[in-house]
Chain A
Amino acid sequence: MMTAPAIETDGRADDAGERLFNELIAQDSRIEPRDWMPADYRKALTRQISQHAHSEIIGMQPEANWITRAPSLKRKAVLMAKVQDEAGHGLYLYSAAETLGTPRDRMTEDLIAGKARYSSIFNYPVLTWADIGAIGWLVDGAAICNQVPLCRASYGPYGRAMVRICKEESFHQRQGFEILLELANGTPEQRAMAQDAVGRWYAPSLMMFGPPDEDSPNSQKSMEWNIKRFSNDELRSRFVGMLVEQVRALGLELPDKDVRFNEVTGRWEHGPLDWNEFKEVLAGRGPCNAQRMERRREAHEEGAWVREAATAYAEKQALRNGRAA
């Protein structure tokens, strides 16, 4: 499947490579693309990074749908910049995933063929302008919470991509918060719209951290490899704590009566989440899965002539310059 470096097929080199890999992980150092790495490490990273890339690309859709309906020229410009950032983030991540040996085009094909996963959050509908605010505040907020520790992921290219992404992502969350703040201080209808959006996006954004620790079999290995630094529940609890503060500034309410700080564990707790819904959405049966996939496929097919033209032009120029491409 993957173009593994020749060294992996050499038994003796494997031993030395494995020793070095284990040493580097123990020292909390970084693994780089040309280093020997266990096949499972390569596979887990390829899966995680490509899914992450797909999420950025699919994540452009729910927001791009609102560019024409954004309430002012400023909001349109901001939203376009955000959607453009998501495209950029997808590309940084595809580059990082590619260093593990899977060609870019294959990742695109897997997504289009429905063989690859992406974050379940993007399969929820964006019903009102306030949803754009809630997405920025809650969805990007959860993403940042998840991504900041990934800047220290043991795989060099992934960590570097995450550093770049996190720097850019903070504007996303703030612009969302600002949208909600303005609505919350607007007319009663606008205020109700903001509260409704927060009500609908709260639970799905909490589920973005993944299943509870006891149902997350991959987490343990990922933490041993220094890819993940904190467990799903740890990050989720940290996120809830941040929301409690922030929702006060908005003057809105979280749709969760069970939020409380547990003095004994030192963690924030929240009410029950519907993990069946999470599984259903992940399995492709969420409200917008089919629509998102269809739109991605269309964009790919409708863009084919552009890619072909660019290739043809490059070939022609290369011939004209007397250099073989």
Chain B
Amino acid sequence: MTGGSTTGDDGANAPSSGPQESRAPWPLWEVFVRSSRGLSHVHAGSLHAPDAAMAVRNARDLYTRRNEGVSLWVVPAAAIVTSDPDAKDRFFESPQGKDYRHATYYTKSEGVKHL
């Protein structure tokens, strides 16, 4: 497993901004939007904000200008743990060749109703 965000920026080691401002860059947050009751929160994008409260407000302005959501999650990008993209063949190998996990594998019952 490797740390880092879904957008690929681990947000941890960006150098501070140049001569005009010496503040450290605001952390990156990943934004998840629930479009309506009964559905799960889905990743919408990311933004920078100094803290969680500002991240939620910015997420509202940035990702729900047209009633796209009834609920928002913001997650510090640095807190997201991902599978290792370089090991994906090995890591996701187990389901390969196991078609019998899908209903479509079983064809003898074709024509039988409600099955």
Taking Cβ atoms with an 8 Å cutoff, the residues of A that contact B are 3, 7, 13, 32-35, 81, 84-85, 88, 91-92, 95, 98-99, 101, 103-106, 108-109, 112, 157, 160-161, 164, 168, 300-301, 304, 307-308, 310-311, 313-314, 317-318
Interface positions of B from 65 to 115, Cβ below 8 Å from A = 65-66, 82, 85-86
A304–B7 contact, CB under 8 A?
Answer: no
When distances are taken between beta carbons in the complex, the residues of chain B under 8 Å from A84 are: 61, 65
Most buried by B among A105, A313, A318: A105
Beta-carbon contact of B8 and A33 below 8 Å: yes
Dominant secondary structure of chain B at its interface with chain A: loop
Chain A neighbourhood of B48, CB < 8 A: 104
* Mask: chain B, 1-36; 1 = CB below 8 Å from A; 0 = not: 000100111000111111011011110100000000
B13 to chain A minimum Cβ distance, whole angstroms, is 7
Q: In the complex, which of the residues A99, A101, A112 has the most CB atoms of chain B within 10 Å of its own CB atom?
A: A99
What 8 additional pairs, Cβ within 8 angstroms, besides A34-B85, A98-B9? A34-B4, A34-B8, A88-B65, A92-B62, A101-B9, A105-B16, A105-B21, A311-B26
Total inter-chain residue pairs, C-beta < 8 Å:
84
B50/A314 in contact, CB under 8 A: yes
B66 touches A168 (CB 8 A): yes
Docked pose: A91 CA to B7 CA in angstroms: 14
Bound CA span A314–B9, Å: 22
Interface size class of B (residues with CB under 8 A): 20 to 34
Closest to B23 in A: A311
Output the nearest chain B residue to A309 by Cβ-Cβ distance: B50
Q: Which residue of A lies closest to B55 (CB)?
A: A314
A98, B86: Cβ atoms under 8 Å? no
Main secondary structure of the interface of A (DSSP, over half): helix
A7-B86, A99-B9, A317-B51 given; A304·B65 CB < 8 A: no
A165 to B102, CA, bound (A): 37
In the bound complex, residues from chain B placing their C-beta under 8 Å from that of A108 are: 17
Which B residues fall within an 8 A CB radius of A?
4, 7-9, 13-18, 20-21, 23-26, 28, 45-48, 50-51, 54, 61-62, 65-66, 82, 85-86
Q: Are B8 and A99 in contact, CB atoms less than 8 angstroms apart?
A: yes
Considering the complex of A and B, which 5 residue pairs feature the smallest CB-CB distances, nearest first? A33-B8, A314-B51, A105-B17, A314-B50, A103-B14
Whether B17 lies near A106 (C-beta < 8 A) is yes
Chain B min CB distance to A17 (Å): 8
Which of A95, A103, A318 is close to B45, meaning CB atoms less than 8 Å apart? A95
CB distance from A183 to the nearest CB of B (A): 27
Chain A residues within 8 Å of B13, by CB: 3
Chain A residues near B18 (CB, 8 Å)? Answer: 105-106, 109
Given contacts A88-B65, A106-B18, A308-B23, contact A313 B51 (CB under 8 A): yes
Q: What residues on B are CB-neighbors of A103 within 8 Å?
A: 14-15, 17, 25
Of A91, A98, A310, the contact of B50 (CB 8 Å cutoff): A310
Question: In the assembly, what is the distance between CA of A35 and CA of B85, in Å?
Answer: 7
- With A92-B45, A103-B14 known as contacts, the answer to whether A307 contacts B65 (CB < 8 A) is no
Shortest CB distance B91–A (Å): 13
Q: 15 A-B residue contacts at CB 8 Å?
A: A3-B13, A33-B7, A34-B8, A91-B47, A91-B62, A99-B8, A105-B14, A105-B17, A105-B18, A161-B45, A164-B45, A168-B65, A307-B23, A310-B54, A314-B50
